[in-house]
Chains A and B, each alone.
Chain A
Amino acid sequence: MAFVLNPATYEVLEADLDEFLKNSEANAVMLCDRGGNIIVHSGESVNDSVDLISALVAGAFAATQQLAAVLGEDEFTAIFHQGKQTSIFIAAVEEEVLLLALFDNNTTAGLVKMYAFNAINKIRSTFTDVMSGEDVEHHDPTASFVINKGPIF
């Protein structure tokens, strides 16, 4: 199964994330899947480590869900990691997708959380379409995938 983002969907998601950044004054925000793949990223490039951050966050979030299960909770919908300078907020958008926001002392956890949940509500409906494959047919039909010759690495 492939997860396909066409340019139109990508623009919508990016606009939602940009708006979230503007309102919340967070430094960076990403959507990633629960397997740790980055889907969309907006804001600072965070030491070129966005791939790693999304891999670690997916792991941390999944570990937290196991904790929730042990405690008899359905799921912890959101978690915070609080640092001296930088903090991170992670929340589930839907079954397969997480939102994570990195922020510093220019804003507050409460503000980030509030705007994040606003953004998540918008983003969720977009993903419902992507996941059901409803917008896949709109992707560029001229695009083809030709494998280059020779070893890949």
Chain B
Amino acid sequence: MALVNYAKKEIQFKIVYYGPGLCGKTTNLEQIHALVPAKSKGNLTSLATSQDRTLFFDFLPLHTTVFEGWTTKFQMYTVPGQVKYNSTRKLVLRNCDGIVFCVDSQWDKMPENLESYENLKENLELQNSSLTQMPHVLQYNKRDMDNIAPNEYIDYLINNGEVRIPVIEASAFNGNGVLETLNAIAKLVSTDFQEKQNK
């Protein structure tokens, strides 16, 4: 739910990185934190287990100017991917404005990708939303690895609807595709907001 403050000329969006356990969501935020200039970012906070698995969420506030004359804040979150943390995922998803679904490109992770994608749709439905209303992009991550499925196969599994979802190939681990993904979702969310406001 975008928050528009006419008194402060400020707009706030919430963006959530979703996907199965270990697909690289936290790594994305770590790389964004490393790559975005200091003037546009706050601190990265991770609520994680001792094994670096996300327990609650990661949080990174970003700010920039998207719309002339307005400060735009993007509040970036990751969900915990592990199946058992579904109640936490629902919570983090609350009032979000855009989603990056992060796919683990390794062949043997395909069932987990699918399960997580179905889980996302269910959780959106529980908050009376859906992917058709929600700006979202797919990130095919870990493209640097050997045992990965071709893009076409992942498309066939996940990106098979009438409207093609934008795909960004990434290797979040070494920063490739991370800013492209961020820019893609930020642009989609902004355009979606603009269309709704200016109509």
Tell me the A residues contacting B by CB distance below 8 Å: 1-7, 10-11, 33-39, 48-49, 51-52, 55-56, 58-59, 62-63, 66, 96, 139-140, 143-148, 151-153
Contacts and interface: CB of A to CB of B under 8 A. Distances in A.
A153 B75 contact: no
B48 interface: no
Interface residues of B, number: 49
B3 A33 contact: yes
A3 B14 contact: no
A140 B187 contact: no
30 contacts: A1-B1, A2-B3, A2-B193, A3-B4, A5-B6, A6-B7, A7-B7, A10-B5, A11-B7, A33-B1, A35-B14, A37-B1, A37-B3, A39-B5, A51-B59, A52-B45, A52-B61, A59-B47, A63-B91, A66-B87, A96-B95, A140-B6, A145-B67, A145-B197, A151-B179, A152-B186, A152-B190, A153-B36, A153-B40, A153-B182
Nearest to B195: A145
A148 B68 contact: yes
Interface in B1-30: 1-8, 12, 14
B95 A33 contact: yes
Given A51-B61, A148-B65, A153-B64, A4 B191 contact: no
Q: Is the interface of B mostly helix, strand, loop or mixed?
A: mixed
Given A145-B193, A146-B68, A152 B3 contact: no
Given A10-B8, A48-B42, A153-B186, A2 B67 contact: no
Contact of A38 (B12, B47, B94): B12
Contacts of B95: 33-37, 96
A49 B186 CA distance: 23
Contacts of B45: 52, 55-56
B6 A143 contact: yes
B66 interface: yes
B196 interface: yes
Given A49-B42, A59-B91, 5 more contacts: A51-B73, A51-B75, A144-B198, A145-B198, A148-B67
Nearest to A34: B94
Contacts of B6: 4-7, 10, 139-140, 143
B46 to A, nearest CB: 11
B143 to A, nearest CB: 21
B14 A151 contact: no
Nearest to A35: B95
Contacts of A52: 42-43, 45, 59, 61
B170 to A, nearest CB: 15
Nearest to A65: B91
A152 B65 CA distance: 8
A98 to B, nearest CB: 12
Contact of A147 (B2, B7, B67): B67
Nearest to B43: A52
B7 A153 contact: no
